[in-house]
Amino acid sequence: MLINCVAYQDGRKLADIPVEQISDYVERPECFVWVALLDAQPDELAVMQEEFTLHELAVEDARRGQQRPKIEEYGDSMFVVVKTVELQGSLMTVGEVDIFVGKNYVLSSRRNSAHGFLGVRTRAEMEPHLLRQGPAFVLYALMDAVVDRYFPVVDALETELEKIEERIFIRGSQRTNIERLYELKRKTMILRHAVSPLLETVGKLHGGRVPAICLDTQEYFRDVHDHLLRIHASIDTIRDTISTAIQVNLSMVAIEEGEVNKRLAAWAAIFAICTAFAGIWGMNFKNMPELDWQYGYPAAVGIMVTVCCTLYYRFKKTGWL
């Protein structure tokens, strides 16, 4: 679906134009066209390929989707893929933005993402001195918007981790904690798979061999790279903390099992004494001296109770009961 198609000249909006006139405005050296698509269909991409003269391999990648974050150069144009990561309650959604950039055009195709880039366009139009730099600045603005949306996701993951850490030492919550930790680890890995390749990709847009389109905007992409470094460091910290929390949680499970085993062993020892005495005095030998004793039964019960109470006291004192 076409969201908007706008022509710009000298950093200012020239007009909303129909798709059929894109090629006419692209041919003007002082203009560039910025087109935004949502969940683009193959026929829409075919039209855009014809209007912008897009490379067929880039169009094929955009049509198929599910691409790894990357930057590919095709002559004097670029094809950029970035991943969007959004949290909707406890559900994490991964989307994709495919961006075609040329000397006189920018085409973005967004899929599986609830947040658009109308705010990015509005912000760019309010800064004509920056928009005057052309498609390279638009590419920066789009990538910066995607990267900035990673920060709330990182904050949400850190908040969830803190809540789990508060429950680690609560008795009986270990199973729930493990489930929540592994779910959090899965979300962290999803975010890392979006950030790590993009970190490497954006590094190609400042310093060293930079595509000709981005030569005048290297400092902007360096800022995006810096944000990605911060996010990547936060992700690594979360992963390390999750691993530590899992180990601590497993240790708590082992400790709790040890406490249960000690209780069982203590009660087993107490009942073993009763069993031993009852087994001895329950033998039906003819010449057992206690059988004819008047106080034999109360004495046997008293001895068993005394020994059991003594063991119970000792186990209680040492913390086994």
Mean pLDDT by 10 residues, the chain (321 residues): 85 86 84 88 88 88 86 88 88 91 90 83 87 89 92 92 85 82 92 90 81 83 92 93 86 75 79 77 67 71 80 76 71
225 in a structural domain: no
Cβ pair 198, 228 in contact under 8 A: yes
176 in a structural domain: no
pLDDT tens profile 250-293: 887 777 777 777 778 788 877 787 777 777 767 766 666 666 66
Tally of structural domains, the chain: 2
23 in a structural domain: yes
Residue 269 is part of which domain span? 257-318
**Whole-structure pTM value:** 0.78
Distance separating alpha carbons of residues 283 and 44, to the nearest angstrom: 96
Q: What is the CATH number of the domain that holds 282?
A: 1.20.58.340
143 in a structural domain: no
Lookup: tokens for 16: 């909303």
Q: Which of 88, 113, 132 is the last residue of a domain?
A: 132
81 in a structural domain: yes
220 in a structural domain: no
Q: What is the pLDDT of residue 286?
A: 64
114 in a structural domain: yes
Q: What is the pLDDT of residue 289?
A: 67
Four-point Cα dihedral 265, 267, 270, 275, nearest 10:
-90
Q: What is the pLDDT of residue 275?
A: 79
Q: What is the CATH number of the domain that holds 67?
A: 3.30.460.20
49 in a structural domain: yes
Q: Which of 98, 132, 166 is the last residue of a domain?
A: 132
Q: What is the pLDDT of residue 240?
A: 92
Distance separating alpha carbons of residues 319 and 317, to the nearest angstrom: 6
Q: Which of 117, 132, 147 is the last residue of a domain?
A: 132
